[in-house]
Structure formats: C-alpha cells, structure tokens
Structure 1
Amino acid sequence: MFAKIKRPLITITLIFIVITSGGCSNPSDSKNEAHNTIIDMAGRTVEVPLTIDRVYSAGQPGVVALYTLCPDKLLGWCIEPSDAEAEFINAKYLNHPVLGLCQGTNANANTEEIVARNPDIIILMTDTSTEYAKTSADEMQETFQIPVVVVGDELTTMDESYRFLGKLLGVAARAEELASYCAKVIDEAKDISKTIPDKEKVKVYYAQGSTGLQTAPQGSAHSQVIELVGGINVCRLDAVDSGRLTIDMEQLFKWNPDIIIASYSDDHGGTNLGNTDVFDIITNANPEWPLLEAVKNGEIFKTPFLPYNWLDMPPSANRIVGVAWLAELLYPDYYHFDIVPATKDFYQLFYRIELSDEQINKLLNEAVK
C-alpha cells in the first residue's frame, strides 16, 4: 500500500572552523594559492581559498541560504525562478545564470559549464548525520576538482548553519542577523510547544503530490515544522530514508486528521510533484476528500509557497517563516507571532523585499483562518 520516495534524513552537527594559511610559489597556479583549512559541517577537512567570492550551490537548499546571506557571491541559480517566484525575489539577482542541480534525483547540471565559471567553492547543503553527505561531497569534489563544503540544513539549528557560512564567506555580521532571527523563532516555538497539553494537540496531515496522497512521515525533513510547533503528524510510518510516502484514502480515513495542510509544487525546486495545487484537488477534484471530517469542518489550508514553500521545499531557511505561520494556525491561543507583520519582517530581512498588501494577501490566500 505504501511506496517510498527517497530523500536523506536531515540532521545537523555543530562544528567549528580551523583556519590556517599557506603561501604559494607560483601565484598563477590556483592549486598553490593561499588557503584556509576548515572542518565542514559533516566533519570533513577541506582546503578553501582565503577569499571566497564565487560560490556554486549543488542544490536548492544551499541556493536559499546563499541568496538570503550573500546573493552577490551566489554564482547562479540551480533552477530558473518562475514568473510567480520572481515577483518575490529581488530584481537585482534575477539575471543570475541558471547552472542546474548536482544534488537530488533531478540532477541536471553541466559540469563543464560550472567549472568554466570558476567557482571558488561548491556548497552542498544536506544531511550531516550519515555517510551520504561525506561520500557525496567527496565524489563531487573529485568530479569538479573544486573544494566542496558540506553545510547542514536541520531546521532547529539553521542559526548555526548561517554562522558557519558567515565565517566561511566573510559575511559574519550579516550571518549573525539571520542566525539571531532564526534562533529567536525556533526557541519560541520550542518553549511554547512544551506548554500545549496533549489533549489539545492537533492531528495534522500534510497533503502533497498529484493526488494529495503523498505525505511526509514523522521525522522527515518535510515535516519538521509540524513537529516543532507541537502538531501531531498523523503519518508515523517507518521510512528509513525519511522521504515522502504514498498512501491511499483508506489509510487517511483511519488517521482522521483534525487539519489538512495542502502543499503546492511549481514543477521544480528539486521535487517530483508536478505543477500541482493540492488544495484544488482536495476541494474540487476528488469526491472522497469532502467526506473527511477536516474538510467538512473547513480545516484545510494552503501552504504559502512564494518564492519558496514555507514548510519544506526546499528544506532551508524558507521554513523559518513557516514556523510562525503554522504555529499561529494550529494554536492561536498559545502562539502570538501575528503572521502579517511576521511575514513582512521575514521577507524584508531574508529576501530583501518590501511586501505590498496585495502580495501579503497573495501569500496568505487560503492559508489562514
């Protein structure tokens, strides 16, 4: 009954940077340039240039982190922003070249083109708890002959990822701004979620995919926001790779969620979900969905998704505003993030854009009570 869609487990390990300098006998030989020796977030020792100005991200999680931290150092997009996404991206950076993905099942990057653009390093933002991060980074480094640095993308330690990148890329002050914001939101969610009585916990189903019957099991990178704010993810099935699962309506009726969160995919972002508005599928396309108690009670909401999904796609800093949104949606008597000003603040700080009232309404359409 269940089909697995693989994705690595996202866990993070706090590490430190060890800095050394080396001279070079031939300044024109890039392999002999002065360098720093660092320990990346997967525990790998990597030699990187003293000055890093051009960074290629192997996947979308790193693109979000780099764009929000130091967009002028981002060598290019992995995936071209859609017209809808472009409205929420600072226009100055929309002309970045599109270089493709080296990370995930949709990898399509042109190795020669990336090398020709002469990146100083490659960032691989991924799981840091298993051998996947190390082996993938080592293989990528061997292929490109460019230093590959692993950065963790665990939601609850996103602040540490920013601080690591800030030191690495020479933008520590900006990184601390973003890290402090992340830590404040995460810490508040952790503290308040502990005060919610078990009898008041809300059962949540996260509907994804072309039919709404793909979902993220508990412990998946795609469900971390739900669990952080105190929601009960109804999907507690084992998934050794912590990816998504495909279920059927019979299983969903057995779970009987209190609330349904409907995802949206714009046919990219490293997903396989297609151009799908799951909210419309649930409310209009399938006659079985309206029989669920959550749908009968009007407890179905869209995930805001521009320029990146607030819950999970990609698993990066875009989820921080999702914490504020989902916390207030599930537990308005406990959380008081005030989602409209919280959204404006997040987009101004992280995405460097001032949202209009029209844009706020577009983001939160069908997403709030």
Structure 2
Amino acid sequence: MYAYYGKEKIRMQPLHLLMERGHSCKLADIVKKCLRLDLLEKVTMKKNSALMMVVLLLMAVVLTGCASDDNQAATRTITDMAGNTVEIPASPQKIATMTGPSYEMVFMLGGKDKIGLVRSDHATGYPLALLTNSDLPNYPTIKGVGPQTPVNAEQFLDAGVDLVLYYNNAAELEKFKMAGIPAVVVNTTTTVPTTTEEYFEQSSANLKLLSEILGGEAVERYEKWYAYLTKNVELIAERTKDIKEEDRPVVYWGNTWGTNILSSYSRGTRDFEMELCGGTLVAPQEGGQFPEINKEQLLEWNPDIIFVDNHGNAPELVIEDMYSNKNWESLSAVQNKQLYRIPSGVFFMDKGSTNTLVLLWTAKVLHPDLFADIDMIKELQYYYSTFYDYDLSEEEAQKILEGWVDAENLVR
C-alpha cells in the first residue's frame, strides 16, 4: 500500500512489521497528526475509505499500546563505525548482514537466531559457514550487494528486517532511512594504529559495537574473544620485540582478483600487524580499498614471502602461475618457494573476528622457530569450539589451513 504526501509516493509498511519493530508509538504520533483536518486534506489514497479504515484500525490497536511501549524503551540510539547516530530497535530480531564479515561476526557473537537476511554468497560460498551453521541455507538471501551497489530498499522491506549492517555509502544509507529501516555502518577503518593500544581499540571496535547491539550473551562472548585477542597479541609481541630489522622478512600481501597478484592493500592496519609478527610489509601507501601496483614495483620490492589471500577466489592459480611464469622467476619468494595461501574461515580468515587467528598463523610462517610450540590445528579447534560452538576435527582444521573455499559459489 502507498500513501501520497503532496506529490511524494511513500510505501506504507505492514502494520505487523511496524509493531514488531517497536514503532507503535511513532505510528500513534502519525495517526494523531493525520487526524488533524489540515493534514488529512494533504493526504490522498487511491481509496479514501480504505485510508479511514486504516486510521481507525491504527487508533484501536496502536494508541492502546503506547503507554507500555514507552516504558519498555522500544528503541535506543547508538553511534556506528562511521560516526553516524542511528536509532535502532532495543532488541533487533531480523538483522540484514550485508557487509563482508558481518554475518560471521553476528554468528560468532551468538546471534544466529537474529539474522533475517544474508547475502547469497554468504549462504552458499563458504563451506565453513555452512559447516558451523546448519540453518544458514534457510535464511532469506539477497544478491548483488556490495560497497558501491545501488540498494533496492523494497527487498529489505519485503524481508521484514529491522536492522541493516551496511557499508559507509551515504547515498545508499539514505535510501534505508527513507524506507524507515535503521542502517548501521560496520567494518569502516578511520585510523591507522601505531601502538598496541590503538590496535586493540581498532581491531575490536566492530565486534564491540555488534555485541552492544545484540546485548545479552553477545557481550560475554565479545569479552571472551577480546581476552583471546589480547593473549595472542601479547604473546607475539613478546617473542618478536627484539628481532633486528635485517632479520625481519619482507612480505607482500596480494589481494588477488582472478590471477592478478598485483592487486593489494594499502599499508594501513596490515603494516602494524606485520611488524607485530616480525616482518616488514611492502605495500602501496594509498590508492583506495584495493590499490594495484605494477610488475616493476613488485620486482623492485623483491619480497622474501608473498601471501596470497582468498578474496579473488583463485589463489591456487596465482601461486601456480607465479612459480611457472618467467616474469617472476627472479623474485626471492618464488625462488625459495615462499608463497602462502591465507587460511580459510567462516568468512575470509583475515577479516572479521578470526583475524586474531591470522596473527598467530602469520607469526608462525615468518618465524617458525620462534613459534614452533604454536599448534594451529589446536588453535583452530579451540576457536571453533569456543566461539562457533562447533567441534572441528583435525581433518577439517587441516583443510582450513590449506584454504577451504567454494569459489564457484562466491559470486555475490
């Protein structure tokens, strides 16, 4: 159903959805205003009688519930990762997890029953997501969602979501606002850490925000995760603090698209993480989210180690190509067979909550002698049992370390 205010066509949300989202008192305010003669004259419907029936129904159902709703605080205000002040449901029940790691983080925080819409690639393309959550294939899905993709707010209204976790895209966020759906920005980095304290704050900010949004058990899970992160960072820092500069391997991190190893990341957070793990990162200083270098630059850097992540869906092809392609035969990493595929995760392991595992893995790759006692199989089993409530077998853990991804179904 649509209402017209002046010349603007506005979709009216179903009453039961508005009531579920805790908007009854706001709805009552609208009803009261619409009952004023001057506003009624401005509102037109295809059938005026239908409008009056709606108004009477709202008066009967909505106004009687306002006193109790006021007492129960149906909404609350939070500040998201972009600094936006957003009014959200006090207890969201149908969350749309649209940014890359957002499904993994909500799931890790114990919010699987509060997920109301997922990206289609999240529902089909990540074997570990399916392994840890048997309900995932039953969630409503949406295709074609990305940082710069135009939003169709109708799809979110039809799914009945009461909160959207989204990218920092002002134009698309405005569409959610116009549709009356709260949208919270997550996974936005605003500063580059230079100290351990800054790193803790930045790397935990998204999970902390989501735990506060979910409340209850999520807060306890976040605190346990933060303790695990702290333990790992302090352990790594203690062991790498005295490594001399000449003993720190030079590392290039390829964010591959297809078989293109020249797509990367700007230095940002990875710079601090690589230093923490006892390495020296070579990367573009700037250039957007996924800057691309040229072949000459990579040859000049001549890294000792190259990490190939799973973002581009074909890391094994990248590694095979680099070992066989004469363009790369002079690279130290190629000559010494030091190309490593980033392990897999419920999302990508180096994003979301599992980045703390990647720190351990990175430190062990860079300095195997210093971290010989770290058993990544056991670390993975602990993490999955503690934070995903799933008992991971040794075979499954080994597949994670080898890169367990369903590339065919990763298309958004």
Alignment TM class, shorter chain as reference: 0.7 to 0.9
Change (3 A) 1:205 1:63: same
Residue from 93, 104, 116 that aligns with 1:75? 116
Is the radius of gyration larger for structure 1 or structure 2?
Answer: 2
Structure 1 gap segments, 5+ residues each? 1-20, 127-132, 266-272
Measured in 2, the distance between the counterparts of 1:95 and 1:221 equals 35
- Shift of the alpha carbon at 1:201? 1.0
Residue from 285, 291, 295 that aligns with 2:330? 291
1:245 matched to which residue of 2? 291
Percent identity among equivalent residues?
Answer: 24
- Shift of the alpha carbon at 1:104? 1.4
2:348 matched to which residue of 1? 309
Residue-by-residue CA offset, 1:12-39 (whole Å, 9 max, x unaligned): xxxxxxxxx9993847489987321223
Q: Under a length normalisation based on structure 2, what TM-score does the superposition of the two structures give?
A: 0.68
Measured in 2, the distance between the counterparts of 1:145 and 1:191 equals 49
Measured in 1, the distance between the counterparts of 2:362 and 2:208 equals 26
Change (3 A) 1:86 1:65: closer
Query: Does 2:218 align with 1:181?
Result: no
- Shift of the alpha carbon at 1:362? 1.6
Residue-by-residue CA offset, 1:249-303 (whole Å, 9 max, x unaligned): 33222111111112234xxxxxxx354532222234x233343222221212211
2:211 aligned counterpart, secondary structure: helix
- Whether the aligned pair in 1 keeps the contact of 2:239 and 2:370 (CA below 8 Å) is yes
Residue from 161, 165, 177 that aligns with 2:206? 161
Change (3 A) 1:140 1:233: farther
1:49 matched to which residue of 2? 89
Measured in 1, the distance between the counterparts of 2:101 and 2:203 equals 11
- Whether the aligned pair in 2 keeps the contact of 1:64 and 1:318 (CA below 8 Å) is no
Aligned positions of 1:1-369 closer than 5 A: 24=25, 26=28, 28=62, 34-69=74-109, 70-78=111-119, 79=121, 80-82=123-125, 84-86=127-129, 88-100=131-143, 102-105=145-148, 107=149, 110-124=152-166, 133=168, 135=170, 138-152=173-187, 156=200, 157-171=202-216, 172-207=219-254, 208-220=256-268, 225-235=273-283, 237-241=284-288, 243-265=289-311, 273=312, 275-277=314-316, 278-284=318-324, 286-311=325-350, 315-335=351-371, 336-365=373-402
Change (3 A) 1:123 1:228: farther
Change (3 A) 1:190 1:215: farther
- Whether the aligned pair in 2 keeps the contact of 1:196 and 1:334 (CA below 8 Å) is no
- Whether the aligned pair in 2 keeps the contact of 1:182 and 1:320 (CA below 8 Å) is yes
- Whether the aligned pair in 2 keeps the contact of 1:213 and 1:247 (CA below 8 Å) is no
Change (3 A) 1:138 1:362: closer
2:142 aligned counterpart, secondary structure: coil
Change (3 A) 1:358 1:338: closer
Deviates more, 1:68-77 or 1:93-102: 93-102
Measured in 1, the distance between the counterparts of 2:370 and 2:188 equals 27
Q: Under a length normalisation based on structure 1, what TM-score does the superposition of the two structures give?
A: 0.75
* Greater relative contact order, per chain length (Cα 8 Å cut-off, separation 6+): 1
Structure 2 gap segments, 5+ residues each? 1-21, 29-60, 190-198, 405-412
Measured in 2, the distance between the counterparts of 1:307 and 1:100 equals 19
Change (3 A) 1:87 1:161: closer
- Shift of the alpha carbon at 1:354? 1.7
- Whether the aligned pair in 1 keeps the contact of 2:236 and 2:276 (CA below 8 Å) is yes
- Whether the aligned pair in 2 keeps the contact of 1:205 and 1:259 (CA below 8 Å) is yes
- Whether the aligned pair in 2 keeps the contact of 1:225 and 1:322 (CA below 8 Å) is no
The letter for the 2-side match of 1:307 is: V
1:7 matched to which residue of 2? none
- Whether the aligned pair in 2 keeps the contact of 1:89 and 1:353 (CA below 8 Å) is yes
- Whether the aligned pair in 2 keeps the contact of 1:22 and 1:36 (CA below 8 Å) is no
Structure (1 or 2) with the greater helix fraction: 2
Aligned residues: 326
1:75 aligned counterpart, secondary structure: strand
